Amino acid sequence: MNEISMKAYAKINLCLDVLGKLENNYHQVEMVMQQVNLYDTVTVKYYPLMDEKAEQRENEQIEVTTNCEGLLTDQANLAYKAAALMQSIYNPNCRIAIELEKRIPIAAGLAGGSADAAAVMLALSQLWHLNLKLQDLLQLGVKLGADVPFCIMGQVYKRKDLQLREKELASTCAFAEGIGEKLTPLPPLDGWILLSKPPVNISTKSVYDAFLMDEVKCHPNTTELISGLKERNLNKIQKNMINVLETVTLNKNPSVLETKLYLKSFQTAYQVLMSGSGPTIFSLYTSKNKAKTAYINSKKKNEDTYLIRTLS
């Protein structure tokens, strides 16, 4: 076998709190992340290189193609970086071809790039029969980005046939600490999610750079939200679904604020919140009919609007 396809799932943040800034300029966070059934399809192929000059053709060794116009496919792409990292450690003399069938909007706060990178790492681990521990891949993933380990653990949970050892951390929901890489599995949320991305792209770095702790009026009680997930207590979950990065993104991007107010105007969702650094806004529903009505109207406002379920 020299080809495998993986589903690379998007994520939302049920809460996101910033505790402070670290010496390395990263921010210390606490958040609960949940994967949803919106995914890219990532197909990975590899071909052994037999000649002695293989190492001289680095530019030819990794190729990324995609159906998404405007998405970079060179060394700036996270899927490319994931392949290069795996190749450098485990299989230097091979050519890797990656096809990204994108459905997750880019620069949306949904970890689409991180999900693609996770899929590439898992695909190559499977194709090369590495039989790694899940923890080994999580530690590699954080070198690519803080969201990559969570994307790995969720994809492993949904893909039971992957040849990995010690899969106890596999989960589609997790409490994240540190810069987001310290993960504790949680019981997943069960519900319908309406996602709506206004036509603007947001740089995560720019949002964190502009973040001011003094402007945050309300922080989530992450411990209580986690308790709500364990108890399946929607009231505890709903009241702690807070994202402190809204203080930056909503103030600087009128279309994001407008989208949030629009989704709230239906008055049918348990909560309406921005995911990550934005700009995507999501609504939580337990009723498919109520969610569908809001989806039909929201689709007229923002083309990138989806009605999906959480992953459990």
**What is the C-alpha to C-alpha distance for residues 226 and 99, in angstroms, rounded to an integer?**
37
147 is catalytic: yes
- Given 11, 197, 236, 260, the catalytic residue: 11
- Given 7, 116, 147, 236, the catalytic residue: 147
Within 8 A by CB and 6+ apart from 262, the residues are 196, 298, 301
Reading the block at residue 35, the tokens are: 């994967």
Beta bridge partners of 12: 34
**What is the C-alpha to C-alpha distance for residues 105 and 102, in angstroms, rounded to an integer?**
8
Within 8 A by CB and 6+ apart from 265, the residues are none
**What is the C-alpha to C-alpha distance for residues 153 and 184, in angstroms, rounded to an integer?**
10
What is the DSSP-derived secondary structure letter of residue 214? G
In whole angstroms, how large is the CA radius of gyration of the chain? 19
**What is the C-alpha to C-alpha distance for residues 55 and 224, in angstroms, rounded to an integer?**
53
209 is catalytic: no
Show which residues are catalytic.
Answer: 11, 147
